[in-house]
Chains A and B, each alone.
Chain A
Amino acid sequence: QSVLTQPPSVSGAPGQRVTISCTGTSSNIGAGYDVHWYQQFPGTVPKLLIYGNNNRPSGVPDRFSGSKSGTSASLAIAGLQAEDEADYYCQSYDSSLSGGVFGGGTQLTVL
C-alpha cells in the first residue's frame, strides 16, 4: 500500500487529454511538500518528467503539465501520442516518515 494513491490505469485516444491523479495526506502533499512525476517505459529507468509540482526539465514536451491542490496533485498529458504509453509515478516528501514517498504508479494506455 503506497503512501500516495494513484489510479492503477488510465487510457485515452490519440490527441485526447488525460490526467493522472496522485492523492496524499496532510503529512505529505497536504503539508505543502512538492510533488514530482516520473515516466517509465517497460524495462527502462524512470525519467524525471515534472519537478516541483509544475516544472518541466529541459527536453520534456510542454504537452506534459503538473498541478497541485490541497492533498492532491495531477499530471496532465495533452495531445496524447502513442509514444506516451508508459507507467507514471508521483513522488513527494512525508513529514511523518521523514523521507520520500512514491505513488503506486499508473499505467497509461493509448487506445
Chain B
Amino acid sequence: QLQLQESGPGLVKSSETLSLICTVSGGSISNSNYYWGWIRQPPGKGLEWLGIIYYSGPTYYNPSLKGRVTISVDTSKNQFSLKLNSVTAADTAVYYCARRRGDGTWFDPWGQGTLVTVSS
C-alpha cells in the first residue's frame, strides 16, 4: 500500500526558506500514471493547492505564491520536495504531500502532514 511521509523543520524564521521532503514508500515515484503534489492548510482554515510535479520533471504551481515555490523530484530516493522562500507568518500551516492521478485531478493518498510554523 502506497504511503507518503513528510519531513522537515517544524520551525522556520520569517524571510527564510521552508524546505520539506515527501518520501514515498510502497510504490515508485516514477510510475507514469501519477503526479505528486503539495497542499497546505493554515490552522483553522481551508486547503490550498500548492503545486504538482511529474516524475520526469514538469511542474505546475499555484500562481498566488508568486514564484516563491519550487517542487522537485529525486527518483533515486523516491522522494519529492517543496521549497517556499521568503516565508511570512501567513505561510504557517500543515503541509501535506499527496499523489494525484495522471488521468484525474484528485489526491489520494495523502501523507500525515507536518506543521510548519514561521516565527519572527
B120 at the interface (CB under 8 A from A): no
Point out the residue from A48, A52, A102 that lies within 8 Å of B47, measured CB to CB: A102
Q: For the side of the interface on B, what is the size category?
A: 20 to 34
Supposing A45-B96, A97-B63 touch, asked if A34 and B46 sit within 8 A by C-beta, the answer is: no
Supposing A34-B105, A91-B105, A92-B105 touch, asked if A99 and B112 sit within 8 A by C-beta, the answer is: no
Are the CB atoms of B105 and A93 closer together than 8 Å? Answer: yes
A105 at the interface (CB under 8 A from B): yes
Most B CB atoms within 10 A — which of A2, A38, A51, A99? A99
Supposing A36-B106, A52-B106 touch, asked if A101 and B49 sit within 8 A by C-beta, the answer is: yes
A104 at the interface (CB under 8 A from B): yes
Contacts of B51 in A (CB 8 A): 99
Interface residues of B in 2-53 (CB under 8 A from A): 37, 39, 46-49, 51-52
Contacts of A2 in B (CB 8 A): 46
Contacts of A102 in B (CB 8 A): 39, 46-49
Point out the residue from B37, B100, B112 that lies within 8 Å of A45, measured CB to CB: B112
Are the CB atoms of B104 and A34 closer together than 8 Å? Answer: yes
Contacts of A38 in B (CB 8 A): 47
Point out the residue from B62, B96, B111 that lies within 8 Å of A99, measured CB to CB: B62
Supposing A34-B105, A52-B104, A91-B105 touch, asked if A99 and B46 sit within 8 A by C-beta, the answer is: no
Contacts of B104 in A (CB 8 A): 34, 51-52
Additional pairs, 18, CB under 8 Å, beyond known A48-B107, A91-B106:
A2-B46, A34-B106, A36-B107, A45-B96, A45-B110, A45-B113, A51-B106, A57-B108, A89-B46, A91-B107, A92-B105, A98-B63, A99-B51, A99-B61, A99-B63, A100-B100, A102-B46, A102-B48
Q: 17 A–B contact pairs at CB < 8 A? A: A2-B46, A33-B105, A34-B104, A36-B105, A36-B106, A36-B107, A38-B47, A45-B113, A46-B96, A51-B106, A89-B46, A91-B105, A92-B105, A98-B63, A99-B51, A99-B62, A100-B49
